[in-house]
C-alpha cells in the first residue's frame, strides 16, 4: 500500500517584547532567579486587570504580513479555563473567535519541489509559568506567565517531515531576522497533528496530535515514528487508531497517549470582558506595514544583486543583527560586497579565534565604515585595519582612536617612502644580495622592514613596486 502523510502544525512563538503581554513586567527573556520577573498581575492576584501591550499587536500583525495573512481589523480576546498550578488565574487569555491574522500562505521548498502551506490563523496569547519539582515538593515559577506568544495554525498541508522541518526553519529565520522573536531554545514550540491515508484518497485518516515539542530534530523523529505507527495500524492492523493527544518521548523515540483527562477538557471559552476589542485602523495598519522588515526572499535577492555570495547570504539571513550591521555600513557609503567580506570573513575569523560567535560582534557601523573607506582609498593597508579590528573585538578598543594612536594615518609623501626604502636596503645587505642573486623571496624581508618602519601606513602595492624598481634599477 502507498501512503500519504497529512500533517498540520500549531506553532507557538515567544514574541520579543520589552514587557509581558498584559503587564509591565520586563526582563522575562533572561530572568536570574525564579519569580524575579513577576508582579501582582502576572501572578493572578485579585484586583489586578490585564492591560494590552500594543507592541504585541504590532509584532503579531507583522508576523501575519510576513506570512501573507489578512489582518483582522477587529480582534478580541477570550478566556480559556483550566486548572493547573503554573496557571495563576486558572485561565489563559487567548484568542478564539477573532484572531488577529487569518488566511496566509508560505512557500516551502524541499527535495519534492516547492509547495504552498496555507496558514489558517495566527492568534495572540499569554504563556503559562513552569513547575519545578523536588523529591518532596513542587515549586511554581511565574517568570514565564503572561509572556506574549503567537500561535500559528496551518491547514493540514504538509506531506512529509522534511516539509515540516523546512517550514519551521523558514519561520525561525524569518522571525529572528525581523526581530519578532529570538526563537531561542524553548521559545518556539510545536503541536503536530498527523494522519495517514492511502495515496489518492480524499478522506482524512484518524488524526492524532503530538504535543509540545521544541527541537526540530525531535519533531522530525516524532513524525516519522507516528507515521509508521499509523501505517502499521492501517496495513497490518497492529492496533486500532483513535483520535487522541500524544507526547513524544525523546529517549525511547516513541509517542505515548496522554491521559484522557488532559485531552477531553471543556475549556469553557468566553470573551474576556476586561480587554476591550482591539480595532486596527488604516493608519495603524499602514504604520505596521511601513515598519515591516523586508521579507526574507526579497532580502536575499537584494544581497545577491549586490554581489554577495550565497554562502554569505545564508549567514546574513540567520543573524539578523549582522545583516543589520551590513545594511548600515552600506548605507554609510561602503561597497556591499567588500563590507560583507570584512564582516563575514575578517571579523568572523577574529571572533572565532577569540572563542566568540558572529552574533557577538558589537562594532558600530560608523567605525567599520571608517575603516573600510580608509582601506578603499589606500590611506590604510589591510594589515593595519585588521589590527584595529582585533583590538576592537578582543579588547573593545575604539577603532578611530586606535588608528590615530598608532600613527597608522601619518600623512606620508613619496620622499618619506623613498627614504624608508633606502634605509631598509641599507640595513638588510644580505637580503639585498640574495634578491639580486635571484632569490625572489628575499624581497619580502626588505619589504617587511619597510612596512614595519611605516607602521602600516602607505599602500603596500605601491611600496612593493617602488622597492622592486629600486633594486632592479
Site residues (vs another protein, CB under 8 A): 40, 43-52, 79, 81, 83, 85, 88-91, 138, 140, 266, 268-271, 273-276
Q: Which is nearer to another protein, 40 or 186 (CB)?
A: 40
Instruction: Give, as one character, the DSSP assignment of residue 360.
Output: G
Give burial (CB, 10 Å; 0-12/13-18/19+) of 137: exposed
Taking the complex as a whole, how short is the minimal distance between the CB of residue 262 and another protein, in angstroms? Answer: 13
Q: Which is nearer to another protein, 40 or 307 (CB)?
A: 40
Q: At what angle do helices 460-472 and 429-436 cross, to 10 degrees?
A: 70
Nearer to another protein, 263 or 309 (CB): 263
Closer residue to another protein in complex, CB, 50/104: 50
Torsion angles phi and psi, residue 268, rounded to 5: 50, 50
State the CB neighbour count (10 A cutoff) for residue 298.
10
Cell digits of residue 299: 532580502
Short-list 177, 209, 462, 136, CA closest to 325: 177
Which CB atom, from 114 or from 266, has the smaller least distance to another protein? 266
C-alpha cell at 406: 598608532
Q: Which three cell numbers stand for residue 473?
A: 634599477
User: Using H for helix, E for strand and C for coil, what is the string for 139-165?
Assistant: EEECCCCCCEEEEEEECCCECCHHHHH
Instruction: State the minimum distance, in angstroms, from the CB of residue 233 to another protein.
Output: 29
Cell of 90: 486558572
Q: Residue 39 Cβ, how far from another protein at the closest point, in Å?
A: 9
Q: Output the smallest distance, CB 193 to another protein, in A.
A: 20
Taking the complex as a whole, the smallest distance from the CB of residue 22 to another protein amounts, in Å, to: 8
Nearer to another protein among residue 93 and residue 371 (C-beta): 93
By CB neighbour count within 10 A (0-12 exposed, 13-18 middle, 19+ buried), where does 377 fall?
A: exposed
> Position of cell 572563542?
355
Grid cell locating 15: 514574541
Degrees, nearest 5: CA angle 210-216-220: 60
CB of 30 to another protein, least distance (A): 24
CB of 129 to another protein, least distance (A): 11
Q: Which is nearer to another protein, 223 or 278 (CB)?
A: 278
Amino acid at each position: 500500500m502507498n501512503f500519504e502523510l497529512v500533517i498540520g502544525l500549531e506553532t507557538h512563538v515567544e514574541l520579543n517584547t520589552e514587557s509581558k503581554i498584559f503587564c509591565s513586567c520586563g526582563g522575562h527573556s533572561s530572568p536570574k532567579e525564579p519569580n524575579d520577573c513577576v508582579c501582582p498581575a502576572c501572578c493572578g492576584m485579585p484586583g489586578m486587570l490585564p492591560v494590552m501591550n500594543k507592541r504585541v499587536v504590532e509584532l503579531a500583525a507583522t508576523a501575519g504580513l510576513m506570512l501573507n495573512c489578512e489582518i483582522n481589523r477587529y480582534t478580541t480576546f477570550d478566556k480559556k479555563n483550566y486548572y493547573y498550578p503554573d496557571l495563576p488565574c486558572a485561565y489563559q487569555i487567548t484568542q478564539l473567535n477573532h484572531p488577529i491574522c487569518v488566511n496566509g500562505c508560505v512557500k516551502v521548498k524541499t527535495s519534492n519541489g516547492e509547495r504552498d502551506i496555507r496558514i489558517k490563523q495566527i492568534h495572540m496569547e499569554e504563556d503559562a509559568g513552569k513547575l519545578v519539582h523536588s523529591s518532596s515538593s513542587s515549586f511554581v515559577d511565574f517568570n514565564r506567565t503572561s509572556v506574549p506568544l503567537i500561535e500559528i495554525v496551518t491547514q493540514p498541508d504538509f506531506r512529509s517531515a522534511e516539509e515540516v522541518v523546512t517550514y519551521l526553519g523558514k519561520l525561525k529565520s524569518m522571525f529572528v531576522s525581523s526581530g519578532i522573536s529570538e526563537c531561542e531554545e524553548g521559545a518556539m514550540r510545536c503541536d503536530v497533528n498527523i494522519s495517514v491515508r492511502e495515496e489518492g484518497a480524499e478522506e482524512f485518516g484518524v488524526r492524532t496530535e503530538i504535543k509540545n515539542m521544541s527541537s526540530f530534530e525531535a519533531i522530525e523523529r516524532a513524525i516519522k515514528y507516528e507515521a509508521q505507527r499509523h501505517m502499521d495500524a492501517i496495513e497490518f492492523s497492529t492496533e486500532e487508531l483513535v483520535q487522541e493527544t500524544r507526547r513524544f518521548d525523546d529517549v525511547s523515540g516513541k509517542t505515548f497517549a496522554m491521559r484522557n483527562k488532559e485531552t477531553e477538557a471543556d475549556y469553557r471559552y468566553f470573551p474576556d470582558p476586561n480587554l476591550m476589542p482591539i480595532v486596527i485602523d488604516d493608519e495603524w495598519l499602514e504604520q505596521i506595514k511601513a515598519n515591516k522588515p523586508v521579507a526574507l526572499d526579497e532580502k536575499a535577492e537584494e544581497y545577491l544583486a549586490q554581489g554577495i555570495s550565497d554562502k554569505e547570504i545564508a549567514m546574513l539571513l540567520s543573524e539578523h543583527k549582522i545583516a543589520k550591521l551590513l545594511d548600515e555600513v552600506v548605507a554609510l557609503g561602503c561597497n556591499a560586497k567588500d563590507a560583507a567580506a570584512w564582516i563575514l570573513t575578517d571579523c568572523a575569523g577574529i571572533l572565532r579565534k577569540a572563542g566568540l560567535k558572529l552574533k557577538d560582534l558589537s562594532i558600530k557601523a560608523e567605525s567599520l565604515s571608517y575603516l573600510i573607506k580608509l582601506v578603499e582609498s589606500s590611506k590604510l593597508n589591510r594589515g593595519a585595519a585588521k589590527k584595529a579590528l582585533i583590538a576592537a573585538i578582543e579588547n573593545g578598543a575604539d577603532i578611530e582612536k586606535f588608528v590615530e594612536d598608532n600613527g597608522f594615518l601619518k600623512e606620508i609623501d613619496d620622499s618619506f617612502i623613498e627614504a624608508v626604502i633606502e634605509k631598509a636596503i641599507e640595513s638588510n645587505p644580505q637580503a639585498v644580495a640574495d634578491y639580486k642573486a635571484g632569490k625572489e623571496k628575499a624581497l619580502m624581508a626588505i619589504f617587511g622592514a619597510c612596512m614595519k618602519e611605516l607602521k602600516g601606513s602607505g599602500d603596500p602595492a605601491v611600496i612593493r613596486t617602488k622597492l622592486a624598481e629600486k633594486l632592479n634599477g
